[in-house]
Amino acid sequence: MVNLRSSKISYRIWKVWRRNLDTFMKTWKVNFIPPFLEPVLYLLALGLGVGSFITQVDGVSYARFIGPALIAIAVMNASFFECTYSSYVRMYYQKTFDAMIATPLSIEEVIAGELLWGATRGLIYATIMLPVLIIFGLIDLPISILALPISFLAGVMFACIGMCFTAITPGIDALSYPSFLFITPMFLFSGTFFPLTLLPPTLQYLALIFLPLTHVVRPIRALTLNHLDNSILISIGWVLIVTTALFYLSLRLMKKRLIV
Amino acid sequence: MAVQGINFEVLEGEAFGFLGPNGAGKTTTMRMIQCVSPKTSGSLKVFGMDVDTNPREIKQLIGVVPQENNLDLDFTTNENLIRYATYFDIPQHEAIERAEELLKFMQLTEKSNVPIDKLSGGMKRRLILARALINNPRLLILDEPTTGLDPQARHLIWEKLRGLLVVGNTIVLTTHYMDEAAQLCDRIVVMDQGKILVTGKPDQLVREYTGNHIVEAEKNEDVISCLDKYSIPYDITGKKVQIFTQDPKEITRMLLDECAIGHVSARQTTLEDVFLKLTGRTLRD
């Protein structure tokens, strides 16, 4: 059973986090390009291109509608892929985790540090995208700044989801399955590029239950468009509960994988 | 289950070796000592502390050279040491000093700013040993420290390890090399299939199990019937007959005179003979 007494998880998780941050900063130029370029490309193609056929979605322009979804998607991709492919490489090929647990660091700290870093990467991406959306004049200020803490929380959730797959995957190639069977549908059907209400009710419910991204897009969109209602709290509550459960699950699965 | 009912005690300041074929349970034992692999039953104490309840305190006092290199490929030689020091809560300035000393000690100073994948196998191994020393450990755990190294690199590592023993370090190591065990270890255990077969000082085990000398002759019916006639115990290995003895002169004389055998050789037995006698000659993997 995963034990979260202070003796198992301590300030040492920041050492693991710091290791990954330092690696990230070694190649910061190439790492900062995607979150900057991605929203620009999507907004040009979908906002200007596709958007020219659409007068309004839910009372706003199409570009304003997809802007917040682009943040949510970027966070999902950054955190999920960091804790799948990148964590897998560190765990299996580079044996970084083995080296760390030979020191006073515990396995729980190594995994929690990885998750924290995965979430941070999502937050970094959201932080870079926000000014781009501001320049395009697509989001309301200052309320949109609150999208950042939500992005971090979402980052923890997607990092935990990724880590669960990393813990059970038989090899690095098999990580493609969750990528295209889970992440791609989520990218398309979470109220990202069209309102969920256009789907048949059954599919709407399925999306709300099984696609975590819907609960990230909703609050971020509500904030950037300054359309606040109770659904924000419901979604944040949903994310909190699911994240807590997945955090324990990912620690447990990784312990099972690593302790032999 | 990787190991079962093993029992051993390592004294402070000694070099203690675990010998055994692949799959004997050596690495599992090492991983249990370093508080990584769990044990299902029994008790294991390191410096009087229980591995289940005080893993952090124990890990603070030990340095580990793992069987597989796990240097951090994203950082340089020097960065590897300094970063590893932070995992032990060693302050930055002290870590920098210590890294410099250790690189000098392991003759890696000129490779200080080189990425890991530009190092040779021997250099990587030396760097791993340097890394294992970053926290001034009281106990060093070395899992096959010199496997795959050239003789120069092996001897350098042995020399450094002997230096560490002189200043009071305790070393626990696993090895496939009998000369490594004979060179370094005060006491050894031979393991096979998860169990400890024997424990003792290397030379004492050689005396006890192989009688110090070995006489070898070509295997043929004449030799065997002759040995049987004088009821001398022997082993057959491949094309040879081996006779372990305390008195090689007498056996050699007898084989030459009584059995009229042309080619006989005698030599001192080594730990390798003990090892093969105890664990057999079958390949393990």
DSSP readout, chain A? Answer: ----STTTS-TTHHHHHHHHHHHHHHTHHHHHHHHHHHHHHHIIIIIIIGGGG-S-BTTB-HHHHHHHHHHHHHHHHHHHHIIIIIHHIIIIIS-HHHHHHTTT--HHHHHHHHHHHHHHHHHHHHHHHHHHHHHTT-S-TTGGGGHHHHHHHHHHHHHHHHHHHHHH-SSSGGGHHHIIIIIHHHHHHSSSSS-GGGS-HHHHHHHHHH-TTHHHHHHHHHHHTT---HHHHHHHHHHHHHHHHHHHHHHHHHHHHH--
Q: Which one of A30-39, A112-121, B21-30, B255-264 scores highest in mean pLDDT?
A: A112-121
Residues B218 and B250 placed together within one structural domain of the fold: yes
Percentage of residues in chain B with pLDDT exceeding 90?
61
For residue range A205-248, what is the model confidence (pLDDT) as tens digits? 999 999 999 999 999 999 999 999 999 999 999 999 999 999 99
For residue B40, is it within any domain? yes
For the ranges A23-27, A89-93, B140-144, B213-217, which has the lowest average pLDDT? B213-217
> pTM of the full predicted structure?
0.90
pLDDT confidence of residue B217: 87
**A vs B: CB pairs below 8 A:** 55
- The parent domain of residue B219 ranges over 213-268
Rounded to an integer, the average pLDDT of A30-59 is: 89
Residues B42 and B165 placed together within one structural domain of the fold: yes
* Number of structural domains chain B divides into: 2
Can you tell me the distance from the alpha carbon of A216 to that of A71, in angstroms, rounded to the nearest whole number? 9
Residues B180 and B106 placed together within one structural domain of the fold: yes
> Is there a contact between A12 and B87 if contact means CB atoms under 8 Å apart?
yes
For residue B179, is it within any domain? yes
Residues B249 and B140 placed together within one structural domain of the fold: no
For the beta carbon of residue B236, count every other beta carbon within 10 angstroms: 11
Chain B residue numbers with beta carbons less than 8 Å from the beta carbon of A96 are 70, 72
For the ranges B128-137, B171-180, B226-235, which has the lowest average pLDDT? B226-235
Residues B105 and B230 placed together within one structural domain of the fold: no
Strand order in the sheet with B213-218: B235-237, B240-245, B213-218, B264-268
Chain B residue with the nearest C-alpha to that of A13: B87
For residue B224, is it within any domain? yes
Residues B179 and B231 placed together within one structural domain of the fold: no
For residue B181, is it within any domain? yes
- Residue window 58-97, chain A: list those with CB within 8 Å of chain B: 94-96
For residue B9, is it within any domain? no
Residues B174 and B245 placed together within one structural domain of the fold: no
> How is residue B178 written in tokens?
């009998």
Complex confidence, ipTM: 0.89
Residue A82 has pLDDT above 70, yes or no: yes
For residue range B231-276, what is the model confidence (pLDDT) as tens digits? 888 888 888 888 888 888 888 888 888 777 768 888 888 888 888 8
pLDDT confidence of residue A2: 46
Residue A5 has pLDDT above 70, yes or no: no
pLDDT confidence of residue A6: 43
Mean pLDDT, rounded, of chain A: 93
Q: Of B60, B68, B83, which is closest to A104 when you measure between CB atoms?
A: B60
Residues B128 and B168 placed together within one structural domain of the fold: yes
Residues B48 and B112 placed together within one structural domain of the fold: yes
pLDDT confidence of residue B285: 61
> How is residue B130 written in tokens?
């340097």
* Distance between first and last Cα of chain B: 17
- Residue window 33-62, chain B: list those with CB within 8 Å of chain A: 34, 36-38, 55-56, 59-60
* Distance between first and last Cα of chain A: 15
> Is there a contact between B56 and A7 if contact means CB atoms under 8 Å apart?
yes
pLDDT confidence of residue A145: 95
Q: Among B155, B182, B205, where does a domain finish?
A: B205
> Is there a contact between B60 and A102 if contact means CB atoms under 8 Å apart?
no
pLDDT confidence of residue A81: 97
For residue B277, is it within any domain? no
Can you tell me the distance from the alpha carbon of B135 to that of B139, in angstroms, rounded to the nearest whole number? 11
Chain B residue numbers with beta carbons less than 8 Å from the beta carbon of A22 are 75, 83
Q: Any idea what the CATH number is for the domain that residue B245 is in?
A: 3.30.70
Counting Cβ atoms within 10 Å, is residue B44 exposed (0-12), middle (13-18) or buried (19+)?
middle
For residue B284, is it within any domain? no
For residue range B206-221, what is the model confidence (pLDDT) as tens digits? 888 888 888 888 888 8
Does B117 lie at the interface with A, CB-CB under 8 angstroms?
no
> Is there a contact between A98 and B70 if contact means CB atoms under 8 Å apart?
yes
Rounded to an integer, the average pLDDT of B26-40 is: 93
Residue B193 has pLDDT above 70, yes or no: yes
Q: How confident is the model at residue A176 (pLDDT cuts 50, 70, 90)?
A: very high
Q: Are B275 and B190 in contact (CB under 8 A)?
A: yes
Does A103 lie at the interface with B, CB-CB under 8 angstroms?
yes
pLDDT confidence of residue B249: 87
Q: Are A213 and A73 in contact (CB under 8 A)?
A: yes
Residues B177 and B239 placed together within one structural domain of the fold: no
Chain A residue numbers with beta carbons less than 8 Å from the beta carbon of B64 are 102
> Is there a contact between B87 and A105 if contact means CB atoms under 8 Å apart?
yes
Does B70 lie at the interface with A, CB-CB under 8 angstroms?
yes
- Torsion over CA: B147, B139, B119, A17 (sign): positive
Does B88 lie at the interface with A, CB-CB under 8 angstroms?
yes
Residues B193 and B258 placed together within one structural domain of the fold: no
Percentage of residues in chain A with pLDDT exceeding 90?
85
Q: Any idea what the CATH number is for the domain that residue B83 is in?
A: 3.40.50.300
Rounded to an integer, the average pLDDT of B155-184 is: 93
> Is there a contact between B72 and A7 if contact means CB atoms under 8 Å apart?
no
Rounded to an integer, the average pLDDT of A194-208 is: 94
pLDDT confidence of residue B248: 87
> Is there a contact between A99 and B66 if contact means CB atoms under 8 Å apart?
yes
Rounded to an integer, the average pLDDT of A96-108 is: 96
pLDDT confidence of residue B164: 94
> Is there a contact between A106 and B56 if contact means CB atoms under 8 Å apart?
yes
Can you tell me the distance from the alpha carbon of B62 to that of B58, in angstroms, rounded to the nearest whole number? 7
> Is there a contact between B84 and A99 if contact means CB atoms under 8 Å apart?
yes
Does A6 lie at the interface with B, CB-CB under 8 angstroms?
no
Rounded to the nearest angstrom, the minimum Cα separation between B73 and chain A is 7
Residues B183 and B261 placed together within one structural domain of the fold: no
Q: Among B155, B185, B205, where does a domain finish?
A: B205
For residue B158, is it within any domain? yes
Q: How confident is the model at residue A1 (pLDDT cuts 50, 70, 90)?
A: very low
Chain B residue numbers with beta carbons less than 8 Å from the beta carbon of A102 are 34, 36, 59, 64, 66
